[in-house]
Structure 1
């Protein structure tokens, strides 16, 4: 087996967890790639809730889903992921974050530690036992290292008997390469 790149590993984790009929969350819809991937995994009877604070991201995601014929499986929500519990009431099997900024856009709008941590906490309570939250952490921008450090601090103190926290990264790459933090819920919190 070859080492999987960060995004390949994120998809591998989701593919290994999500089943047809599941409810899942894309906490940062961005350009819709993860949303589309999740919509394919959940099948016709599942559902994806995709969040983004930028209208451009919501429109890009909706367009991508339309082209792929997956729109009916997804609720694309123009709101921050910190408000996930206002929209999602069901148990979820997985969630994904791409922390940082919207690729191809201005870098002024970035994910922030306080909203990200609130979203993680809400998603952990919605997550089924055996479910997974994948955080792809891009931190090579202004404010990125602060968010990275706060996320690491938060997940490092989750009770190990209830949540397994994994860090997956390449340690010999330059220019702040992204890495993954994956949280697997082992018992109810």
Structure 2
């Protein structure tokens, strides 16, 4: 097992923990099985968690009493989150152990990311784990990378973490940091 080159979710958590200094409000844009949400809940005062699958929402247990579960698309983030946020965590793809035909979609994911950038505080981070081993995942990868390439460098720093000695469909992690 490698210490640094590991699961993209773990890498995302390490980056968030190390580089976000103000930990007031975070968003888990894709609740899924709740691992990112648990991490955010343990490190931020308040967490909003979006999930389109009701069964995943119903299954999540808020151990810290600081998570608001929203059974809705992350594309509607601005309808539910009205304050500035320090972090948004995306784990795109499908629910592990769930129906692989229900996936995040390039159009709604990009819409959510754009809205998240407006809600993000200075020095805030958006973490995007992109699982590109299925058709919609490849579409999300292309769509999000093309968008991020054109973000103004005077306002945003964008970095991609990718294992280059693994399958070309292995997950990648994009970090967007707001100046």
**Bucket of the pairwise TM-score, normalised by the shorter protein:** over 0.9
**Residues 16-165 of structure 1 correspond to what in structure 2 (within 5 A)?**
16-18=18-20, 22-42=24-44, 46-61=45-60, 63=61, 65=62, 69-70=63-64, 72-165=65-158
CA root-mean-square deviation: 1.6
Tell me how many residue pairs correspond in the alignment.
177
- 1:8 maps to 10
Moved over 4 A (4+): 18-21
In 2, Cα distance between the equivalents of 1:50 and 1:131?
Answer: 17
2-structure distance, mates of 1:17, 1:25: 16
Q: Which whole-Å deviations, capped at 9, do the CAs of 1:16-56 have from their partners, x for residues lacking one?
A: 244575111000000111101100001xxx11000000012
Give 1:59 deviation, angstroms: 1.7
Q: Please give the alpha-carbon distance, in whole angstroms, between the structure 2 residues aligned to 1:18 and 1:57.
A: 28
Distance 1:56 1:177 in 2: 27
Q: Where do 5+ consecutive residues of structure 2 fail to align?
A: none
Mark the runs of 5 or more structure 1 residues left unpaired by the alignment. none
TM-score for the superposition, normalised by structure 2: 0.94
CA distance in 2, matches of 1:59, 1:19: 31
CA distance in 1, matches of 2:11, 2:81: 26
Post-superposition CA distance 1:115-153 (Å, at most 9, x none): 011100111011011000000000101321111100100
For the Cα contact (< 8 Å) 1:53–1:78, is it kept in 2? yes
Give the match for residue 165 of structure 2.
172
Residue 38 of structure 1 aligns to a residue in which SS? helix
Matches of 1:170 and 1:21, distance apart in 2: 29
SS in 1 for 2:135: coil
Displacement, 1:9?
1.2
- Contact 1:52/1:79 (<8 A) preserved: yes
